[in-house]
Structure 1
Amino acid sequence: MIGEAFAVAAALLYAFGSVAVTQDARENGGRGTAVVLSILLTTAISGLLWLFIGLPLPTPSEGLWAGIAYFCVAGLLATVIGRVFFFRAIELTGAVESSLFRRLIPIFAVVMAVIFLGERVTLSTAVAIVLVFAGVGIVILSVPENPQAAKVNTAERKDRMTGRLLGVGSAASYGGAYVTRKFGMVWLPDPLAGTFIGAIAGLVVFCALAPLNEHFRAQIRAVLRRPTRWQVLAAGAISFGQIAQFTALKFTSVTAVAIIASIEMFFAAWLAGFVLRSEPRPGPRLLAASVLALIGVTILALDRGGA
């Protein structure tokens, strides 16, 4: 159950990060410029933890280099593509709506895990999937039509659609990152090393693309300015969330981690509604959906704990 506990912690941290990004966008007009800050924090935090409590690197071999290569690919998928799309989607659509599109992550991840890793979906896992996604479905189907939608201008509708597409793209990238991280763990079973290597790969890509793309240049320039408190909180939460999720993959399957990641949307809704009060408070339907998801995650954790 260690892996499942880390997966739940990761979901909570990612949820707080998404709500913090929304707060920054509303208060300071943020436009995804905390991405590089979050990568820098991930690099620093995982690097220091690896230095003091991580495992030493094994003797150089083809397996070691294979593990490093997989972690670099995972870093590109999650730290660069997934995270850039994630930050911008939140700013364009809000924490709750963007989290709905991120529910595609488990679908991508489970399908890829079955195809590439040969993972099996047991009866208990299937029940957990049904319960969690039933909760997600309740939330999606209960979202009311916005009476002001007709008044939204063309530019705002375009931004919202762009945010939705970015949310789907982020989900696909994160789903692929689950599988590549798991492959990397086969050769280098240290989540701290994997997180550090992936973050370094992300920084290299950002620096390499900065001269060619204004968006990436803006990301680099943003690091030189004093970050807002919400940017720091978002970057820190997402950095620790990535480390926790990487650790979860060491102890349990991609399928389990991906399913548990789905409860991020419930954490985000409760944090935004009751703690930060940045969005409307969740109603009874979300409460019922949260209970279903909690039961599903509990079944999954007990099943994995007894395996």
Structure 2
Amino acid sequence: MADTLIGAAFAVLGALCLAVQSLTIRLGTKTHRVTDVVAAMFAVNLLVLVPLAGVAGYPDYGLTPGGVAAFAVAGLLGSLLARFCYFHGIARLGASRAEPLKALFPVFAGGVAVLALGESLSLALAAGVALLVLGGAVVALDSRATSATASGQRLRADLAYPLAAALLLGVDPVFTKLGLATGTTPLVGLTVRVVAATLGFLAYLGWRRVRDGVGWRPRANRWLVAASVANTGYLGAYYAALDRAPVAVVTPLLGVSTLFVVAGAALFLQREERVTARLGVAAVLVVAGAALVVRG
């Protein structure tokens, strides 16, 4: 019981870090590109995680080829591709609209569990999926009604970014669980994940340089640094929570970040976003749906 409570506390801390990340990215992308955000985030992740894992895991890091492969795939899906999609969603829609859509990832995680792992579809799971879909529909409706977002085909493209992030984040935990099942400690596994994602990001930059023939110099400001620190805190809290508490406890508590983001946007981003009552309703629906999906 004590471990579960500690894990729950780490999950709430992770949700708070996620909210801070989302709100500061919204401010940072006013003057910087998403590529700058991702570069700053990987730099801070590596600066913190590599030394910690190197010291904590020495001399036996418990790595196997299968574990490295699983964490690497999780990193490419969740720490690289999902970041790009989600951050583009924040830049285009705003944090208060992108976050509830990204939080639909339990829908995809549940679909993977049913289709790939043969798990059954319970009534609670079906009800949770319905609430999540309803919450996403409310966000889409709210986005169409406000002048702060685009319209028509452009709006549909903007909505696709956080939804793609939700899909990637829904598949990511399958590989994370496979990696942890090999006996690798969470800290070492997390570091492998970030290193693999960073290598993927560097490969993308190299490809873009060859394609465009133009070099790229990363830029950062205080908001991007704050977002990077918050993301590193989230990753550490998330893996610490999973190490101490069941997924059924951790995932719904992480979903509280949706409420934090909507409240934070209403308080601190009044110039950048118009937070409506519908967004508050959507946030509550998403949190409730995530809880039902995980427990179902």
* Aligned-residue offset at 1:234: 1.3
Equivalences for 1:173-212 in 2 at 5 Å? 173-212=168-207
Which stretch of the first structure deviates more once superposed, 236-245 or 111-120?
A: 111-120
Equivalences for 1:141-290 in 2 at 5 Å? 143=142, 145-146=144-145, 148=147, 158-214=153-209, 221-223=216-218, 225=219, 227-277=220-270, 278-280=272-274, 283=277
Structure 2: stretches of 5+ with no match in the other structure: none
The match for 2:37 is 34
Q: TM-score, normalised by structure 2?
A: 0.78
The Cα offsets for residues 250-284 of structure 1, whole Å up to 9 and x where unpaired, read as: 3344454443333222111111112454434564x
Which stretch of the first structure deviates more once superposed, 6-15 or 66-75?
A: 6-15
1:22 aligns with 2:26: yes
* Aligned-residue offset at 1:66: 1.0
CA distance in 2, matches of 1:97, 1:87: 12
Kindly indicate whether the alpha-carbon contact (under 8 Å) linking 2:139 and 2:282 is maintained by their aligned counterparts in 1.
no
Kindly indicate whether the alpha-carbon contact (under 8 Å) linking 2:125 and 2:292 is maintained by their aligned counterparts in 1.
no
The match for 2:15 is 11
Aligned length: 290
SS of the residue 1:259 aligns to: helix
The Cα offsets for residues 26-57 of structure 1, whole Å up to 9 and x where unpaired, read as: 3x253442102111211222223323445753
Kindly indicate whether the alpha-carbon contact (under 8 Å) linking 1:109 and 1:258 is maintained by their aligned counterparts in 2.
no
The Cα offsets for residues 215-271 of structure 1, whole Å up to 9 and x where unpaired, read as: 9999x8343x3x111111112212221222223333344454443333222111111
* Aligned-residue offset at 1:122: 8.2
The Cα offsets for residues 103-143 of structure 1, whole Å up to 9 and x where unpaired, read as: 321111233245556778888x7599489749946964883
Alpha-carbon RMSD across the aligned residues, in angstroms, is 3.9
User: Closer, same or farther in 2 for the Cα pair 1:267/1:59, shift >3 Å?
Assistant: closer
Q: TM-score, normalised by structure 1?
A: 0.76
CA distance in 1, matches of 2:91, 2:114: 33
SS of the residue 1:91 aligns to: helix
SS of the residue 1:48 aligns to: helix
The match for 2:52 is 49
Q: Which amino acid aligns with 1:8?
A: V
* Aligned-residue offset at 1:173: 1.1
CA distance in 1, matches of 2:245, 2:157: 34
CA distance in 2, matches of 1:268, 1:231: 17
User: Closer, same or farther in 2 for the Cα pair 1:50/1:300, shift >3 Å?
Assistant: farther
Structure 1: stretches of 5+ with no match in the other structure: none
SS of the residue 1:221 aligns to: coil
Kindly indicate whether the alpha-carbon contact (under 8 Å) linking 2:24 and 2:224 is maintained by their aligned counterparts in 1.
yes
* Aligned-residue offset at 1:166: 1.7
CA distance in 1, matches of 2:18, 2:192: 20
CA distance in 1, matches of 2:176, 2:85: 19
User: Closer, same or farther in 2 for the Cα pair 1:289/1:90, shift >3 Å?
Assistant: closer
CA distance in 1, matches of 2:249, 2:62: 31
SS of the residue 2:52 aligns to: helix
Kindly indicate whether the alpha-carbon contact (under 8 Å) linking 2:255 and 2:287 is maintained by their aligned counterparts in 1.
no
The match for 1:100 is 100
Q: Which amino acid aligns with 1:249?
A: L
CA distance in 2, matches of 1:190, 1:128: 35
* Aligned-residue offset at 1:146: 2.5
User: Closer, same or farther in 2 for the Cα pair 1:192/1:59, shift >3 Å?
Assistant: closer
SS of the residue 2:60 aligns to: coil
SS of the residue 1:279 aligns to: coil
Q: Which amino acid aligns with 1:238?
A: N
